[in-house]
Structure 1
Amino acid sequence: MGVVAVLGTVFGSMAALFVLIVIGAVMLGGSKSSDTSTPIANPTYEASEEPTRRSDGDPEPAPTRTRDQEPTQRPTEDEEPDTTVTPPAKVTLNTSLKNNTMYRAGTLPRLNCRAGNANIYNHGQLKALILKTGRCMDRAWQPILEKQGIRFSPPGYAIAAKRGRGACGDYPSAGSMVPYYCPRNNTIYASTSAMARGNGNARGYGQIINWHGGIISMMAHEYGHHVQNITGLMDSWWRSTLDSTSQSGKLALSRRLELQATCFGGMWMRSVAASYPVNTSNRSRLYWFYGQVGDYPGWPRDHGTPANNNRWFRQGWEKSKTYQCNTWLAPSSTVS
């Protein structure tokens, strides 16, 4: 799925919306400018294990998954093995949008993940940085998800210098520069030249912020879609999209999905801030950057306004807990 944000004319193409539709179908089968954005308005909810009531009074359905947990005790060499067969314990996972099990996962661990001085205009260097930080994302997300009984698996990567054909379509799409996550094969696809230099009339991230942290934060967004996939959030989003009877309703669901991935990306950037490093100046640059990306008048409103992209990236950074990225309970004004 496409990265949550687009720059200026990037969403001038219909590519992002097209990729969104394709992904749903396969699931069934450099600026130094000061930060001028308004302060974040944090959602006013707290994590809850109780089902959320809808306006019609019925509780939100709570799709569940179960997974087997292997016994952890093994006999020592001096002990006789116990021949009693004990069925493996079951962990019931809530895969709903509003009360997903992953919201109990808490904060990502602080990791040592140094970026170095990679040049975003050099394919080999940028690709190596993407793969390296991707492994850091695995190290961050795996323990907190597995602690909740969620089976973890890392995403794959297909990083091209120019363009390629992925399981969910071409990357980049014509007139676009955005990478995308494909749930069909759990793979993140990206073109280094498109992200850095743009594609056609679509400006690249590197033309907005020439520091590599901008592109890596966008890759953290795509990784956020992988988190949504393995936790059941993406399945639940697609079922809700199919149930929606209006185009505006489908777009509203898309924005909540995308802004949540941006929030997850903000959480990860915070987790590596000390070692990456993301100092105070670069944090301000990231905040400013996310105030420049998003939906613009005249184009599909499927990723959220620049103001709300900024809002949710900052939410992930400043609150840094999974339940604080629950866009499905947030006021509509914060996900417009």
Structure 2
Amino acid sequence: MWSAVAAAMAALVVLVWSTATGEPPRHEAAGVAAASPAPGEPEPRTAASGEGRLSPSGGLTAVQRPSGKAALVDNPLYATGRLAPLPCPVPVPDVDDPESMEGFLNVVADCLDKTWQTQFAKAGISFEPPSRVFWETPGTSPCRDYPSTAGAFYCRASKGIYIGTSDVVAKWNGADDSVVYASLLAHEYAHHVQGESGLLEYYHEQRRLEPDRARQNAWTRRSELQANCLAGAFLGAVSVTYPISAADREVILADAAATADREGSSAEERTHGSADNSVLWMEHGLEEQDPGACNTWEAAEETVQ
């Protein structure tokens, strides 16, 4: 199977590489996966715990967002089963029209909101959807200015997802298959899921304790690869009404490979995982469609390199 996937990736990887640099832009989580905050960039913040919410049965329950190591490796979200195959009738965007791209991204974000709200309700954890900044004019966030080198980013400080409606198309070399952009958005949304589920706080605490960049990056890779898997789980779950053809699937996997760490890069540079592992976790999410299948924190070391 891997040889077939590798061939597909090699054939399709050109779709998503940046013409400006010869390398693909990264989808990043500012304040989530960056090796260290940029000058003036605030430290990531997580939401407060101990909130009240309505239970699925309608009664008010006091819930505590998971914390500590349990939030990372034994999160209630992992026990919620497959994502609900909710309707997601996504329009075909005109990638050369910023308004069309904005409309497309908003529809996908609506689907993500409904999907993850449903899953968090199963887990008994409160959930607030992220804010959306689908921008055409440059601006600034609490984490960084945009445009940036990243194709998209999530800022935990504002609980916002930032994607440029023209910028992202340019960075992805004008790719016209909408699943590329849906996958990118779902990946950034997955970082919000990590934050709302309580695992980011412990992740950041442990990462800060590491003595050097290489060991910090080992934590970062697990976070990024989990986001890949959660993105794949969403795309697989909504494929009933947002069909993912065999060709689309190859494009998704090629994009996962293209946005991975460059082969031969040092441990101090590797933050997103190898091409093989990036594809592995994306494909695992597509097939399993279950947050419990995305527990990269206890995965074998060779799968998160």
| Cα 1:232/1:128, change in 2 over 3 Å | same
Aligned to 1:281: 247
Alpha-carbon distance change, 318 to 18 in structure 1, aligned in 2, over 3 angstroms: closer
Between the aligned partners of 1:14 and 1:212, the Cα distance in structure 2 is: 18
Unaligned runs of 5+ in 1: 1-5, 30-63, 75-87, 198-203
Of the three residues 270, 274, 277, the one matched with 1:301 is 270
The answer to whether the 8 Å contact 1:177/1:194 transfers is no
Task: Give the match for residue 134 of structure 2.
Answer: 159
Question: What is the match of residue 319 of structure 1?
Answer: 288
* Equivalent residues of 1:26, 1:183 under 8 A apart: no
SS at match of 1:116: coil
Question: Residue 219 of structure 1 aligns with which residue?
Answer: 185
On the 8 A contact 1:113/1:136 being kept in 2, the answer is: yes
What does residue 184 of structure 1 align with? 157
Displacement of 1:115 = 1.9
Asked if 2 retains the 8 angstrom alpha-carbon contact of 1:287 and 1:313, the reply is yes
Question: Highest Rg: 1 or 2?
Answer: 1
What are the residue-to-residue correspondences of 1:213-252 with 2, within 5 Å? 213-252=179-218
**What does residue 236 of structure 2 align with?**
270
TM-score (norm 2): 0.81
Tell me, yes or no, if the aligned pair for 1:66 and 1:92 is still in contact at 8 Å: yes
Three-state SS of the structure 1 residue aligned to 2:184 is helix
Separation (CA, whole Å) in 2 of partners of 1:17 and 1:70? 30
Q: Partners in 1 of 2:209 and 2:150 — Cα distance?
A: 31
Counterparts in 2 of 1:131-142, with a 5 A limit?
131-142=106-117
Instruction: Report the alpha carbon displacement of residue 331 of structure 1 after superposing the two structures with TM.
Output: 1.1
Q: Deviations over 1:118-160 (max 9, x none)?
A: 1122111111111111011011010111222110111001111
What are the within-5 Å matches in structure 2 for residues 10-159 of structure 1? 20=34, 21-22=36-37, 25-28=42-45, 65-68=49-52, 90-95=62-67, 96-159=71-134
CA deviations 1:222-260 (Å, max 9, x no partner) are 000110111111111111111112211100101111111
Distance change >3 Å, CA 222–CA 15, structure 1 → 2:
closer
CA RMSD of aligned residues (A): 2.9
CA 1:261/1:18 → structure 2, altered by over 3 Å: closer, same or farther?
A: closer
Cα deviation for residue 177 of structure 1 reads: 4.1
Q: Distance in 2 between matches of 1:308 and 1:292?
A: 12
206 and 170 in structure 1: CA distance in 2 versus 1, 3 angstrom threshold: same
Q: State the SS of the aligned residue for 1:158.
A: strand
Work out whether 1:194 is the aligned partner of 2:209: no
Measure, in 2, the Cα distance between the counterparts of 1:318 and 1:98.
Answer: 21
Q: Distance in 2 between matches of 1:314 and 1:73?
A: 36
Name whichever structure is richer in helix by fraction.
2
Q: Residue 280 of structure 1: CA displacement?
A: 2.6
Change beyond 3 A, Cα 1:133–1:70 = closer
TM-score, length of structure 1 as denominator length? 0.74
